[in-house]
Amino acid sequence: MQPLLNYIGGSFVPSNSGDTIEDINPATNQRITTLPRSSSIDVDKATQAAIGAGPAWKATPIEERIKWLENIADALEAKHEEIALLETLDTGKPISLSRRVDAARSVSNFRFFAQYAKEQQPMQFEANGAINHIHRNPVGCVGLITPWNLPLYLLTWKVAPALLMGNTIVAKPSEMTPLTANLLAETLDELKLPEGVFNLVHGLGPEVGQAIVEHPNIKAISFTGGTSTGRTVAATAAPMFKKLSLELGGKNATVLLDDARIDDIVDELVRASFTNSGQVCLCGSRVLIPAKMYDEVAEKFVKGVERLKLGDPMDESTQMGAVISAEHLSKVESYINLGIEEGGIVLTGGTSVNASVSGVHAEGAFLRPTVIGGLKHTSRTATEEIFGPVVTLHPYHDEDEAVLIANGTEYGLAGSVWTSDVERGHAFAQRMDTGIVWVNTWLNRDLRTPFGGVKQSGIGREGGIWSMSFFSEMTNVCIKQP
C-alpha cells in the first residue's frame, strides 16, 4: 500500500520533516504502510489553510453545506466495502463488524446531520414587545482528535456536524488507525470540497495532537480517547478558553434485575460485553447479578462467551478478532493477572490464544474473551478501565447495593439494565450516574439523542442539537419594533 500523506490545503503532502511512522496490522503484526510523523510545523500549515478557507465556507449557504454532506454520504456508501476492509486491516476487528458498524455508521453520520439540519426551525423568542432571533455562526477552525477503536465512525461523527455548521477542520486520527481517515481525505478531494475546508495531519498524540490543542487559531477541540489524555487536552485548552468536548473512557455496568430471564438475554449480554473485543467505550465490563441467580447466570453467561468464534478477522464467520496492538494486548493481560492477584477466579479465557485457537496468526494480538468472578467490586480490576475482552461478574443482594456497585467507579458513561418490567428498569436507570442507560437493549442508537458521560467519562454531549451547538457560536439579536 502506498505510504500515506497528510492532506493540507487540498494537497497530499509528506510531513515537513519527511519522518514516518509504521502502520501495523494487529492480526498479523505485519506492516501495512507508513504514515507521516508530523509536527507543529505541519499543524500550523494545516491551520493556515483552514483559516484561509474559512470565510468562503462560512458564507456558503447551509442548504449547500447540507448538499455537501449528502454527496459525501453517497461517496462513502459507494466505498462501503473498502472502508470495512481498511478498518479491519487497521484494527483487527472482524470484517462483519467493520461492515455492520464502522462503514455503515460513517455513512449515516453524514446522512443523519444533513437530514436533521433540514428539520431545524429558526429559533425565536418573543417578549417585552421584542423578538429575539438566535443566530448560529461557525466557531471557525476546529480541531478533531480521534481514537483507534472506531476510527472512521468517530471521525465522521465530528466532521459531519463541524462542516454542516460552517467550520473548517484540522483533524488527527489515531496513529494506529490512519487508513480510513486517509480514505475520507481522498473522498473529499475527489468531490472537490473547497481546498483547506478539511485538513488531515497524521502523527503522534503528544506531537500532533498536542500542537492542535495548543494552536491559538484553532478555536474548539473535539476529543475522543482515554481519560488520562483527556486530562492533558483539558489542561492545555482550558486556559486558552477553547470550546472543549471530551468523550473519554468508561467502566460500564450491565445490571440484571431479579426478574431478568437469562436464557432470553444471554447473547445480548455477551454482545454488550465483547463487541470489538470490548474496545468500545460503551461496552459493559462489569455484570451485576442478583445473588440468588448468580450461579445459574454466571454459568450461562460463560457458556455464551465460549460460543464466540475467535479467529482471523478477515474470516466472515469470525465474531472476535485481534485487539488493537501487541502493546494493548500486554496491558489487557496485565489486568487479567491483576484480577487473579486480587482474588479473582478466571471462569473462561485468560490466556494468549496463539496456541489454542485455529486460524489466527501466531504473532497476532489475539486474546480469548475472559470472564473473572469472585472479585470485590472495589478491586482495581473491577473499577479501572481495561478496554479489552475482560468482564467481571458481581453478585448483589438488593437494588440499593446494585446502584452502589454500578456507580462505584470514577467513570459515568453508560450502562444497561435487564428486566421483564420496563417501569422498574426505567426507575433503576435513573439512579445510575451515567450519560446513557439502555434497558433491555445495548448500543441502540438514535443520533438525535445526547451522547456522553459524567465524572471521568468526559465533558459535553455529542449528537443532534448538541453537536450542532458545540460546532457553532450563538448570537441573540433582540429586535424591538420602532
- The site for ligand TXE (CB under 6 A) is made up of 145-149, 172, 174-175, 205-206, 209-210, 213, 224-226, 229, 232-233, 247-249, 281, 385, 387
Least separation in angstroms between CB 394 and ligand TXE: 21
* CA pair distance 331, 246, nearest whole angstrom: 23
Q: Residue 2 and residue 396: Cα distance in Å, rounded?
A: 54
Identify which of residues 21 and 73 has a Cβ nearer to ligand TXE in the complex: 21
Residue with C-alpha cell 509528506? 14
Residue 44 CB neighbour total at 10 angstroms: 16
Beta-carbon count within 10 A of 235 CB: 10
458: burial class by Cβ within 10 Å (0-12, 13-18, 19+)? Answer: buried
> Of the candidates 140, 122, 139, which has an alpha carbon nearest to the alpha carbon of residue 131?
122
Nearest Cα neighbor of 95 from 274, 304, 320, 326 is 320
DSSP assignment of 241-300 equals T-EEEEE----EEEEE-TT--HHHHHHHHHHHHHGGGG-STTSEEEEEEEGGGHHHHHHH
For 67, the 3-state DSSP assignment is helix
CA 398, 403, 406, 407 dihedral sign is negative
CA distances from 441 to 116, 266, 320 (A): 24, 11, 20
Nearer Cβ to ligand TXE (88/419): 88
Write out the catalytic residue numbers.
247, 281
CA angle 66, 67, 72 (to 5 degrees): 100
Nearest distance from C-beta of residue 204 to ligand TXE, angstroms = 6
Cα–Cα distance, 276 to 388 (Å, whole number)? 9
Nearer to ligand TXE, 146 or 419 (CB): 146
SS3 106: helix
Residue 260 CA to residue 422 CA, distance in Å, equals: 11
Whether 170 contacts 218, CB under 8 Å: yes
Indicate the residue among 98 and 472 with the shorter CB distance to ligand TXE. Answer: 98
Smallest distance from ligand TXE to CB 400, Å: 29
Q: Which is nearer to ligand TXE, 43 or 372 (CB)?
A: 43
Q: Which residues contact 334 (CB under 8 A, 6 or more apart)?
A: none
Closest separation in Å from C-beta 169 to ligand TXE: 14
Of 247 and 268, CB closest to ligand TXE: 247
When the beta carbons of 185 and 233 are compared against ligand TXE, the nearer one is 233
Q: How far is the CB of 171 from ligand TXE (least distance, A)?
A: 10
The 3-state DSSP class for residue 396 equals strand
Task: State the nearest-atom distance from the C-beta of 208 to ligand TXE, in Å.
Answer: 7
Cβ atoms within 10 Å, residue 416? 29
Provide, rounded to whole angstroms, the least separation between the CB of residue 223 and ligand TXE.
Answer: 7
DSSP sequence for 295-358: HHHHHHHHHHHHTS-B--TTSTT-SB---S-HHHHHHHHHHHHHHHHTT-EEEE--SB-TTTST
How far apart are CB 388 and ligand TXE at their closest, in Å? 8
Q: Smallest gap, in angstroms, from Cβ of residue 146 to ligand TXE?
A: 6
